[in-house]
Amino acid sequence: MRWIRQHLIGAIAIVVLLYLFLPIAVVIAFSFNNPESKFNLSWNEFSLDAWTQICGVPGVCSAFVTSVEIGLISTLFATILGTMIAFALVRYRFKGRSSTNLLIFMPMATPEIVMGSSLLALFLNLSFPLGPVTVMIAHIMFIISFVVVAVKARLQGMDPRLEEAARDLYASPSATFRYVTFPLVLPGILGAALLGFSLSFDDFIISFFNAGTLVTFPIYIWGAAQRGIPPQVNALASLVFIAALVIVLSAQFVAWRKRKSLSVR
Amino acid sequence: MAPVVPVASVTTKVAQASKQRSRIAYLLLIPGLGWLAIFFVIPLVTLFMTSLQAESASKPGTYVPGIQFSNYTDALAEYWPQFVRSFVYAGLATAFALVIAYPLAYFIAFKAGNWRSLMLVLVVAPAFASFLLRTYAWKTILADDGPVTSGLNALHLLPDGRILNTGIAVVAGLTYNFLPFMVLPLYASLDKIDYRLIEAGNDLYGSPQQVFRKVTWPLSMPGVVAGTLLTFIPAAGDFINAELLGSTKDKMIGNVIQTNFIEFRDYPTASALSFALMAVILVMVLSYIRRSGTEDLV
């Protein structure tokens, strides 16, 4: 009885993690399905067709590439803009700090449908043509806040004595930044960029409102959901999932190795 | 004799230096904040203006600027059930997510040891698999002839005899999709708790329940507030779960806004509903934050 009580919370934690991964297991498993009907919803028989002919369904791969391109460009811009804001917030005193914080917090506290529809209202009133540009404008807008939060956390967690040491050793402000500050913040910036890319790549609601006739990967899935999602979509999504997991886990592993070698010395 | 430094010149120098520093700060802030001002704040103003537009008398189907507040009353009179349903579904999903997420966050913060960072990665990892596909996968898991539905049916727990295409499936989907947004802030605030406070509670003969109620739970309040907000807000505006997992009787306000904006092109009605959703959520967030006293969420 005591044993159960002591391990109960661990057991619950594992069950919750399994619950988080259950749908992903289904997504991956059904990439190996040879669906009976158009709808890839119940298991029929094992097949590798979706993986060997991953672009075999018209439009899947071009939608995928579109999402990658939009994700990369949006992430690049949002990471630069957000990192600059994070530096200003942590390193400088200026008037208007609380309104700056509010402006950064608001997009995270606003439902996507409100941001998507309000941007569409703006573009419609300006008769601005919808397409990749409007989607990227929207993505940069909603990613900035997440970048600010991630980079700010990294900057705040940095030991200020490292920069003081550089200054004491007569490093100019720009040299201090280049050789000390920036390398220390870089993991935070890269983490923020990965987060930003995954938010952009997977965004549906805001993109759907502002895409016009452009088809991103999530928009393709939405359309396909009505007439049956081909297993190729599952295969591509599984690829993305595994790639992202490998990147994050190897970053964790590198950090863990570094910690270990430091503690040995 | 010590050199006499004129105080005035020192202070002006300091003032100049800090002025220059704050100029750098503004240079760093302006591009990003400008982007947010142009593509977040101004659109909200446009949304509000669009919500007051009136249908053009000469060209039906197009809209002209106006101050037609009846758009709001008309829209809410027609769609109040979906509006209320959104808040009920989002509230239920938030409550379930809190109950499910708390033990996991607690375990990661206090018991996971070396596994902590790996477990955090695993909490975030589902976001790398498509939101739409994961939601769609619940169609397979909750299928009428699937193990979950037949199991619950054998226990006579399902009023309609099925899960898919009912409100239960929509709430389940919302709970699932936004669970990581609950776990992470809970973990962050539990992690900040000095574990010695919990030990002190145990040493003073507090029962586990008492220690949780009087020590752990109150100290984790900032995480509870942030987590419930981060779950409730996207859930209330979501239309994906209701569309994929629910029936036409389970539609939420997001579905209404989406169809009115994109399919019916009834921009004033859709804008009015969208703006009303924003206003209600904003009021709720502000009063909630004020009551629980967590000002710095960023």
**How far out from the chain centre does Cα A87 lie?**
21
Tell me the residue range of the domain where A149 lies. Answer: 59-229
Say if residue B8's pLDDT is above 70. no
Assess whether B254 and B198 both reside in one domain.
yes
A:B CB pairs within 8 Å? 261
- Per DSSP, the residues of A87-143 read HHHHH---TTHHHHHHHHHHHHTS-HHHHHHHHHHHHHHTTPPPSHHHHHHHHHHHH
Assess whether A49 and A108 both reside in one domain.
no
Q: Share the mean pLDDT of chain A.
A: 92
Nearest in space to B281 (alpha carbons), one of B43, B44, B33, B39:
B44
The ipTM, to two decimals, is 0.92
Residue of B nearest to A253 (CA): B118
Q: Is there a contact between A41 and B143 if contact means CB atoms under 8 Å apart?
A: yes
Assess whether B141 and B287 both reside in one domain.
yes
Residues from chain A contacting residue B230 (CB–CB below 8 Å): 108
Say if residue A209's pLDDT is above 90. yes
Shortest CB distance from B39 goes to which of A10, A125, A137? A137
- Between positions 121 and 140 of A, the ones with CB within 8 A of B are 121-122, 124-125, 137-138, 140
Assess whether B82 and B179 both reside in one domain.
yes
Domain-embedded: residue B61: no
Shortest CB distance from A119 goes to which of B43, B143, B278? B43
Cα separations (Å) of B157 from A126, A138, B150, B163, B171? 53, 44, 10, 10, 16
Cα separations (Å) of B22 from A64, A88, A181, B29, B203? 43, 9, 19, 10, 51
Assess whether A67 and A141 both reside in one domain.
yes
Assess whether A40 and A97 both reside in one domain.
no
Assess whether A84 and A212 both reside in one domain.
yes
The answer to whether A93 faces chain B, any CB pair under 8 Å, is yes
Q: Is there a contact between A81 and B32 if contact means CB atoms under 8 Å apart?
A: yes
Assess whether B27 and B78 both reside in one domain.
no
Position of tokens 């002025």?
B19
Assess whether A153 and A260 both reside in one domain.
no
B113: confidence class by pLDDT, cuts 50, 70, 90: confident
Assess whether A167 and A51 both reside in one domain.
no
How large is the average pLDDT for residues A150-171? 90
Residues from chain B contacting residue A198 (CB–CB below 8 Å): 127-128
Helix, coil or strand: residue B1: coil
Assess whether B267 and B224 both reside in one domain.
yes
What b/e sequence results for A249-258 when a residue is b if at least 16 CB atoms lie within 10 Å of its CB, and e otherwise? eeeeeeeeee
Identify the H or E element spanning B25.
Answer: helix B7-36
Please state the φ and ψ torsions of residue B54, each to the nearest 5 degrees: -115, 155
Q: Is there a contact between B133 and A237 if contact means CB atoms under 8 Å apart?
A: yes
Nearest in space to A192 (alpha carbons), one of A242, A143, A140:
A143
What b/e sequence results for B132-170 when a residue is b if at least 16 CB atoms lie within 10 Å of its CB, and e otherwise? bbbbbbbbbbbbeebeebeebeeeeebeeebbbbbbbbb
The answer to whether A198 faces chain B, any CB pair under 8 Å, is yes
Distance CA B278, CA B273 (A): 9
The CATH number that applies at residue A219 is: 1.10.3720.10
Q: How many CB atoms lie within 10 A of CB B46?
A: 20
Query: Mutate which of A1, A40, A113 to test chain B, going by most B C-beta atoms within 10 A?
Result: A113
Q: Is there a contact between A111 and B237 if contact means CB atoms under 8 Å apart?
A: yes
Assess whether A49 and A67 both reside in one domain.
no
Distance CA A139, CA A67 (A): 11
Residue of A nearest to B127 (CA): A198
Q: Is there a contact between B40 and A106 if contact means CB atoms under 8 Å apart?
A: yes
Shortest CB distance from B131 goes to which of A12, A138, A204? A204
Assess whether B97 and B218 both reside in one domain.
yes
The H helix count followed by the E strand count for chain B is 14, 2
Distance CA B168, CA B160 (A): 10
Shortest CB distance from A252 goes to which of B25, B101, B118? B118
Tell me the residue range of the domain where B27 lies. Answer: 7-51
Domain count, chain B: 2
The answer to whether A171 faces chain B, any CB pair under 8 Å, is no
Assess whether B286 and B182 both reside in one domain.
yes
Domain-embedded: residue B65: no
Say if residue A84's pLDDT is above 80. yes
The pLDDT score that the predictor gives to residue B287 is 84
Assess whether B44 and B163 both reside in one domain.
no
Q: Is there a contact between A248 and B124 if contact means CB atoms under 8 Å apart?
A: yes
Residue of A nearest to B106 (CA): A9
Domain-embedded: residue B255: yes
Domain count, chain A: 2
Assess whether B27 and B103 both reside in one domain.
no
pLDDT tens digit sequence for B28-63: 999 999 999 999 999 999 999 999 999 888 888 788
Assess whether A156 and A189 both reside in one domain.
yes
Assess whether B154 and B31 both reside in one domain.
no
Shortest CB distance from B141 goes to which of A16, A23, A113? A23
Assess whether B113 and B207 both reside in one domain.
yes
Highest mean pLDDT among B10-14, B117-121, B220-224, B236-240: B236-240
B284: confidence class by pLDDT, cuts 50, 70, 90: confident
A70: confidence class by pLDDT, cuts 50, 70, 90: very high
Q: Where are the alpha helices (DSSP H) in B111-130?
A: 116-124
Assess whether A42 and A134 both reside in one domain.
no
Shortest CB distance from B129 goes to which of A24, A114, A141? A24
CA distance B11 to chain A (A): 17
Domain-embedded: residue B62: no
Say if residue B166's pLDDT is above 80. yes
Helix, coil or strand: residue B185: helix
B2: confidence class by pLDDT, cuts 50, 70, 90: low
Assess whether B81 and B42 both reside in one domain.
no
CA distance B130 to chain A (A): 6
Say if residue B297's pLDDT is above 60. no
Domain-embedded: residue B287: yes
HEC string of A181-230 equals: HHHHHHHHHHHHHHHHHHHHHHCCHHHHHHCCCCCCHHHHHHHHHHHCCC
What tokens appear for B71 in the block?
Answer: 């758009």
Q: Are A88 and B25 in contact (CB under 8 A)?
A: yes
* Residue positions counted in chain B: 298
Assess whether A10 and A96 both reside in one domain.
no
Side-chain half-sphere CA neighbours of A167 within 13 A: 8
Assess whether A40 and A109 both reside in one domain.
no
Residues from chain B contacting residue A251 (CB–CB below 8 Å): none
Assess whether A136 and A223 both reside in one domain.
yes
Which stretch of A143-147, A234-238, A244-248, B15-19 has the lowest confidence by average pLDDT? B15-19
Position of tokens 């899947």?
A60
pLDDT tens digit sequence for B116-163: 989 999 999 999 999 999 999 999 999 988 888 888 988 888 888 889
pLDDT tens digit sequence for A48-67: 999 999 998 999 999 999 99
The CATH number that applies at residue B98 is: 1.10.3720.10
Q: Is there a contact between A229 and B133 if contact means CB atoms under 8 Å apart?
A: yes
